[in-house]
Homo-oligomer: A and B are copies of this chain.
Amino acid sequence: MTYCLAIKTRDGLVMAADSRTNAGLDQVNTCRKMHFLVKKGERAFVLLTSGGLSLSQSVMTLLTRDFENNEGIAAVSSFYEAARQVGYKVREVAAEDRESLEQDGIPFNVHVILGGQIGNQDPDLYLIYPQGNPLRVTQDSPYLQIGEIKYGRPILDRGVKHDETSLEQAAKYALISLDSTMRSNMMVGPPIDLLLYRAGDLEVRCHRRLMADDPQLMAIRTVWEQELRRAARLLPPIQFGE
């Protein structure tokens, strides 16, 4: 299982991913799901992946090979084209593996979130489906999720507004969303990769990898639970008209 999310605010992007990967219930490993492809000062891409690890690795291998040859997303002139390029690689891997997987009842299930920036264009954010088609984030729903998405969604729905939420606040919401998911599904687990991308960075400047016992993560969790209970006490009582 996996949980990755990305938020777009006025000032930039927040992206976050867990690191647990499993084959069945008893073969659990740690694996990085946040990947960087950067030409400093020119373009920066951050990719989050979910689905079969073999599949997302293949997609990343093809994308990285092209990038190092100044092809693919290294060469496109718009973010939409970059999202399409990722979709083409997903389709290339599907052409290789899909039929053999489906023979054994295994779905072709790779999802990718692509965030980043090209030159002086706005930062942008897309989700690429297993069929290769891209979905762009919107102002009304300024976040994208892949993997185990339900536990961590209510806090994003209530907290995140594209025009109002600062980048630093969005990073806190992302952490809480991930922490809530880890608590409810042990197939989502630390370390947490957290990236804060400010418009114009054009490099990876603010990235942290938080272990399970990270003091900041524990402090945030403690304060959050205290404040939730306080908030619940402050709610007006329900009248049953006895």
Q: Which residues of A contact B (CB under 8 A)?
A: 150-155, 157-159, 168-169, 171-173, 175-176, 180-181, 183-184, 194, 196, 205-208, 216, 219-220, 223-225, 227-242
Contact = CB atoms under 8 A, between A and B. Distances in A.
B183 A228 contact: no
Nearest to A179: B154
Given A150-B150, A152-B154, A228 B225 contact: no
Given A150-B184, A242-B205, A232 B173 contact: yes
Contact of A208 (B150, B184, B225, B238): B238
A184 to B, nearest CB: 5
Contacts of A152: 154
A151 B233 CA distance: 21
A168 B242 contact: no
Contact of A184 (B153, B184, B207): B153
Contact of A159 (B155, B196, B228): B228
**Copies of this polypeptide in the complex:** 2
Contacts of A153: 151, 184
A34 to B, nearest CB: 14
Nearest to A150: B150
B183 A157 contact: yes
Main SS at interface, chain A: helix
A206 B236 contact: no
B180 A240 contact: no
Given A151-B151, A157-B180, A231-B231, 16 more contacts: A151-B153, A153-B184, A157-B183, A159-B229, A168-B238, A172-B237, A175-B238, A194-B238, A205-B240, A206-B240, A208-B238, A208-B239, A216-B239, A220-B235, A220-B238, A224-B231
A76 B205 CA distance: 67
A158 B155 CA distance: 13
A145 B220 CA distance: 28
Contacts of A171: 238
A230 B242 CA distance: 33
Given A159-B229, A207-B240, A224-B235, A154 B172 contact: no
